[in-house]
Amino acid sequence: MNAESMMAVVKARPEPGYDYTSVPRPQPKPDEVLVRIERAAICGTDILLYKWDPLAQSLIKELPFIPGHECCAEVMEVGAAVRSISPGATVCAETHIPCGGCYQCTHGLPHICKNLVLFGHHVNGCFAEYAVVPAKAVYCLTTGLPAETACLLEPFGVSLRGVQEAAPEGKALLVNGCGPIGLFAIAIAVRSGAARIIAAEVNPHRLKLAETMGAHVTVDARQADVRQAVLDQTGGDGAGCVIEASGAVGAVATCLSCLRKGGRIVILGNPKGPVEIRDVMPDLMHKELTLRTLHGRRMYETWEQVEALLADGIVDIAPVLTHTFPMGRIAEAMAAILSGEACKVELDPRA
């Protein structure tokens, strides 16, 4: 296979945009596997990289590189030291590549490894025909989940952990921000027995999707005051749990003001600026709240859980996937997202 080439999406220059071009096909090192990408999905960070946003710039090591981290792939070749994975296996890449030796890695928390290397950010990712992935960051699927669903396990895992931490059973849940992560969280919360799910969002397409996924109440945050809407829906108490999935400036403050005393708030959206708390005593200190942040999926318990939820048909996330483009039409795919029309968008490298 050596010296062969492949087509890939490449971030070549420190400016907005992606190229679609021919690059050498990678070769696996002894502890890596070579995979053929069946399907890849565009994540919020891939959009920031496309725009060349300062947050994205801070995440990457060098140019040029191949973005993308959400994928479903088939193993083509394994390095000499790889024992547990065989060619032909259907796999997903875990974005978080742990070092294996730091405090977190040796205490059951490799997903927040101190020396974390991020697939598709620090090393070449999956927006290509082929990719190499370290064997320790490969999740082998055990069901026949179709590629277009399997490639969403990675973000879906973040939503599942968010709902697990929010613990919405029998409570009112506010989901603030209805991008893919918030929408997945709504679908999981329905199955988790949330008493009332209130979804807040500024994009009308996404508000509709929130309804489709099972939100009981939708709040158009362009027009309505989210805090007032939540208080109205909860007899003036506030929501027992809140998932912040927008990353919007000021969103954490709004979410804190919506939380019932003694409630739980989970922050999933990467804040696009400093996080502020408006009224420190009523919104924070006197609430006796529990605040949780998350970074990725537990390896690999979360993966097993999300695969089972989707393979058993317990949660249906198909409505969130609004568009699929051949990978070569990456510019159109990005335009569909940036226009606000598309929600989750996938790329097919073989189309």
Nearer to Zn ion, 113 or 131 (CB): 113
Q: Which residues contact 227 (CB under 8 A, 6 or more apart)?
A: 254, 257, 258
Distance between CA atoms of 198 and 196, rounded to whole angstroms?
A: 6
Q: Which is nearer to Zn ion, 99 or 311 (CB)?
A: 99
72 forms part of the interface with Zn ion (CB under 5 A): no
CB of 249 to Zn ion, least distance (A): 21
| Contact (Cβ atoms closer than 8 angstroms) between residue 96 and residue 299 | yes
Asked whether the beta carbons of 47 and 35 are under 8 A apart, the reply is: no
Out of 105, 118, 207, 209, the residue judged to bind Zn ion by CB under 5 A: 105
For residues 147-206, which are near Zn ion according to CB under 5 A? none
CB of 42 to Zn ion, least distance (A): 9
Per CB under 5 A, 231 contacts Zn ion: no
Omega into 64 within 30° of 0, i.e. cis?
yes
Q: Using CB under 5 A, count the residues that bind Zn ion.
A: 6
Q: Which is nearer to Zn ion, 132 or 153 (CB)?
A: 153
**Closest approach of Cβ 231 to Zn ion, in Å?**
33
Token pair, residue 298, equals 């537990």
Give the nearer residue to Zn ion in terms of CB position, either 59 or 102.
102
Q: Judged by CB, which is closer to Zn ion: 98, or 263?
A: 98
Nearer CB in complex with Zn ion: 118/239: 118
In the bound state with Zn ion, the residue whose beta carbon lies nearer, of 105 and 306, is: 105
Residue 150 near residue 317 (C-beta atoms within 8 A): no
Check residue 98 for interaction with Zn ion (CB under 5 A): yes
Is residue 102 a contact point for Zn ion (CB under 5 A)? yes
Which stretches does DSSP call E strand in the chain? 5-10, 19-24, 32-41, 70-78, 90-93, 96-97, 117-118, 130-134, 138-140, 172-176, 196-201, 217-220, 239-244, 259-267, 290-293, 321-326, 344-348
Q: x/- contact string, 6-45, with Zn ion (CB under 5 A)?
A: -------------------------------------x--
Tell whether residue 125 is a contact of Zn ion (CB under 5 A).
Answer: no
Dihedral over alpha carbons 324, 307, 90, 81 (to 10 degrees): 130
Decide if residue 113 touches Zn ion (CB under 5 A): yes
CB contact at 8 A, 327 and 46: no
Residue 99 found at the interface with Zn ion (CB under 5 A): yes
Bridge partners (DSSP) of residue 267 are 244, 293
Distance between CA 69 and CA 75 in Å, rounded?
16
Q: Which is nearer to Zn ion, 28 or 98 (CB)?
A: 98
**Minimum distance from residue 290 beta carbon to Zn ion (Å):** 25
Nearest approach, Cβ of 103 to Zn ion (angstroms)?
8
**Shortest Cβ distance from residue 114 to Zn ion (Å)?**
5
Q: What is the largest CA-CA distance in the chain?
A: 67
Name the token pair of 242: 């809140």
Per CB under 5 A, the segment of 56-64, 97-105, 248-256, 299-307 that binds Zn ion is 97-105
Binding residues for Zn ion (CB under 5 A): 43, 98-99, 102, 105, 113
